[in-house]
């Protein structure tokens, strides 16, 4: 079964819009695990417009499953990660002004940079994953960095699938096959939803984990979070 890690950034966005601590990201982390999610994902950005660095520290004690922290490996981010020592760090090449993640790493150009960070993470017992476009050359470059896993950036698939183009899965399947050959674990995320998750999972061999936030929180507004998480788990089983 593919594991579901719930990204709770949108809970923090709602909290920050009003100030105070409602809704509580800490309680959200507790609840998604209680409802069956096998992990909690956060993606703090330097401007802290949703998840704050302090949230990352506060959430750690309530994690009973897996803790995945995503982000651009700038110095402040790495200090936080090395303090907390989550289960997994997912390296994402976010521009400072990006609304959301919009590209994967060029693992060839940045191979030495990534390899140094990954080596330090692994020495501290932190599993490493690289956010990456569905490109065979980038998959092969990721393997040379020493990463444990890749996270396939799935926005293009999700957009094309919504338009009825199921062939959009093909580059992802090919990349997954190559990643398996290279001994890389496979994660995926970005715009995966209840509409497309089953099809995606059925076409990605050995998909270990999906990280889902925006769609899951939006679906939960109408259907309830517990129901939505159980629906994802059913489709991923």
Q: Which residues are catalytic?
A: 43, 70, 190
The DSSP element (H or E) to which 4 belongs, if any, is strand 3-7
Partnered with residue 210 across adjacent β-strands are 4, 188
DSSP letter string, 16-58? HHH-TTSS-HHHHHHHHHHTT-SEEEE---TT-SSS-HHHHHH
Is 237 exposed, middle or buried, given 0-12, 13-18 or 19+ CB atoms closer than 10 A? exposed
Alpha-carbon separation of residue 179 from 103, 111, 139, 147 (angstroms): 19, 17, 6, 11
Token pair belonging to 101: 């993640």
The SS3 call for residue 5 is strand
The SS3 call for residue 106 is coil
Widest CA span of the chain, in angstroms? 48
CA–CA separation, 54 and 227 (whole Å): 29
């Amino acid at each position: 079964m593919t594991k579901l890690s719930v990204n709770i950034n949108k809970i923090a966005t709602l909290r920050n819009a009003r100030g105070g601590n409602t809704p509580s990201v800490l309680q959200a982390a507790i609840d998604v695990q209680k409802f069956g999610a096998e992990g909690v994902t956060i993606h703090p950005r330097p401007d802290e417009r949703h998840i704050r660095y302090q949230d990352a520290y506060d959430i750690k004690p309530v994690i009973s499953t897996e803790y995945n922290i995503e982000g651009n490996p700038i110095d402040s981010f790495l200090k936080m990660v090395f303090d907390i020592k989550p289960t997994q760090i997912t390296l994402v090449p976010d521009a400072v002004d990006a609304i959301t993640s919009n590209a994967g790493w060029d693992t060839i150009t940045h191979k030495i940079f990534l390899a140094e960070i990954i080596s330090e993470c692994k020495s501290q017992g932190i599993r490493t994953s690289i956010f990456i476009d569905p490109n065979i050359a980038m998959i092969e470059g990721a393997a040379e960095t020493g990463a444990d896993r890749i996270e396939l950036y799935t926005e293009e698939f999700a957009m094309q699938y919504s338009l009825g183009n199921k062939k959009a899965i093909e580059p992802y399947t090919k990349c997954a096959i190559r990643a398996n050959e290279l001994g890389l674990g496979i994660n995926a995320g970005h715009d995966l939803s209840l509409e497309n998750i089953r099809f995606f999972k059925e076409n990605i061999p050995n998909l270990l984990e999906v990280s889902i936030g925006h769609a899951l929180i939006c679906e939960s507004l109408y259907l309830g979070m517990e129901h939505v998480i159980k629906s994802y788990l059913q489709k991923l089983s």
